[in-house]
Structure 1
């Protein structure tokens, strides 16, 4: 076989496997086999650059940097959709169309309305040549380089596709991928992204396409525009797009009446939470392309399509009183106490008002009738006020100036949305909050002791801080309300057993502001014991991997307080672990200090989690994704092809499990 034919055959085979994996979710070869074939193609392309092809599967990893996104005029305008919220709206719409069509009965295609970033992708002779954001509908930004990194977007089509056309759809971020991205951000001490839609949209405007390639974006396509496409109906359009290699949602239905449309709407209004993507309604389209052309467009929208929006369940109720909660860090949260009302299957009595700014934004007042929704389908939130029902003697809400518990004057620093009570050692909710954090599962995990019991112990004067827990006796706690002899014994035993909890969890339990689980582990490994950490300077702390000035200042401030030092001395005397164990110290080295290592795949000798512990024990950092800062990729069986491709493109060394274990022995 000639070299050119060999390269083309490999490309075609890899495209097929890529389609099976990312579009059909039905891989037919292992990741390892895919990687071998991809590596073979990369080698041939490097050796014979004259056969370069912009649609080659080897170009999925990105790497090109776009400084300025060029504005491009759409080949065909991208219209917005009119919205409907009832069956009556749909029936009125159907009557209007029938008048234009001379009474002709129409068929409808119902598709879910995915909440993502709208995109228009141009194909010429089966190759992806341009991808443009919606923009203002007339023109958008050229994001071709970034869209090419999305695995479910075909770079080369198959079958009987037209010579040139645009296909429209949504770039979406699946819930699972969004949750993983946020978990990594929180782990790194960064603020989580707000929602999948905005994150997907923002991803398209990242300057480094390699960064886009690392995000788990998906692309759902559903609308073809262009001349001479040979397509007679919307239903046929969906089928053809699938045949040509596009990822087209399977959830769609051909309907012959508005009754059937509403059945589809009602079905997915209740089942949409089972979907992997955000949806906010159903798009209803006239099926016949000929009818679509006859119906045409208004100045803003097609007359042949309508978006039926799912209603966020909303109720109105009376806001009886605004109260204020104090968190363990002293943060103040205003709470709306509502006349009980049924919302999304549960009775709602309270809703968070977040901060003073939100109260001012909506002009929320006691005595108002307010509209309440389930934020994210979980947490009740107030979304507005029914001003027609506002009492005549209503007065604007004046945000409190002093702590509702200890009456200390509140502080609000510039740039912070929250007010704070700074009476750290004298404010009851802060005191009990710190103790409740200390006993929590991820901290000291004290069995037999819960939040309500902590409140009771504090109220009865038996504890004032978490060190006092270790002086409690069965005789002291037995008289407490709802405390039987067995539960009293379990409480005291649970406290005594907690002295075995390792140093890094004890450090987390102390409740130092900004010191979460991960930071506590890093500090424990860096300083080995509490005495060294207590004497650490800000300069010393910021030299520890991922410890910034905010954390460093908080640690120094905590240990500079004499009351905190006294509590720690007491905890030492009670036998708590304030240094790494002998076993931990024996297994700890600096062999991997300063190195970021990514682990991927299935391993034989040790598990993936054990590998990560070995990396950290030897001073290394476990990376979640491959970048130019990655020192090694430890590759196991069934590792995804994208990681290997990314590592090779950045010249990151790929080592086996055995090679890595030899490095740290």
Structure 2
């Protein structure tokens, strides 16, 4: 039996890859075979659960992307689809469609859509309703048969369930014979696609229609959107008026004439951001001129194309797992990804937030994960979709090696934390040194001019002249910025060095007065609890911090 997921497979055989498809992986043949087999096994598991058990283990849009990726990888490594991997092999029903169901070619970007529109006239646009496609046959005005899409040529007989659905017109006003194609959809109240996505509405409809018995309550939640009258008049407005007269009102309500790309873009954005009674995954563009029904095939026609919305969740392939060590020693795992598009943004990496979360998820290179945008801005990891085997070893830093008193100087594995300390020191929250950022500090470290947090105090023109990329002008500007640090007040220096913050800024007095306080003395200050008191005492007594204070005192920095 054909379901919407199976339509994805059919389209893959016919049309270019989706915009989130990537280039070919750089894998040897054995690795490619293993990765393709693993993805195929996972998709087969999803298919079995979806078609046989009526349970969806993955969202529709992630499933579609997994299918695209599988076919892309097969194309990259010249592998033919296997029979086991073809969901159409079990989809073909026993009831022939009087007119085949065509697919839709997807236009993947604005330019492709604009070119398609420019070459045609008498165009209309409709929401691309995200549901289950069917054929409806009326004889002498009465609903006689409803056929699932199947493989586009043959489907299953859904007539018994369809007779229970109030949203399907059972008796036409006239005693005519009529053949229609449309989409069964799950009714949603004021659904805004751009905010809540598809809600797996497609899977819900498929699951309900695959049941042996459809309850009255479930039947009442199903609507119908007619998108094709194969034997109808060429004039689309006349088609829509006739459909509305017969009771199929959604088609006219949600169809708009267009003549330009700007008009198409307007309606696409409008339907994405305004309430609709159904889930959608894009828009469909139609032209009035089309082939006669006798020539329709189970393939994409020339008279209609789909322009899909950007995906809300993207299936991303993990290239690398690296660990970012921050100024205070916090370890943040970062997943480096093969680029994917989310909301027309290219996403190349996503943070896991904490080492503990990475340890719980155990994500390795080669894994495939689902990502989305938090607040439509920040990439976030949603879940692991597929794990790669064998597992790739990852060098994981020890959390005990990094803390708020580690890496004041260069040492094995310390460069990243020291670089973060230097970046903080020169930033607006620190000494606010103009023209100095992370890249400048990195260049100085690589050139061997900096080994500790305050080594730069004694840099001069001669030392900078030995570094590639520093000309006379840039060297003079850098030195002027570094020397301006000597004029910064003591409190600003304390913040730049990374002294643990206090609620009421209880840092009056010079360095020696602060360093003389023990934990009890710090805790006696208003607003400082036991934990912060211990941190402050440890900071001012740390041997490397004490050594830096001596360097700053010798340099004549105020307060030291």
Q: TM-score range by the shorter chain?
A: 0.3 to 0.5
Higher Cα radius of gyration: 2
TM-score (norm 1): 0.39
What's the TM-score, normalizing by structure 2?
Answer: 0.46
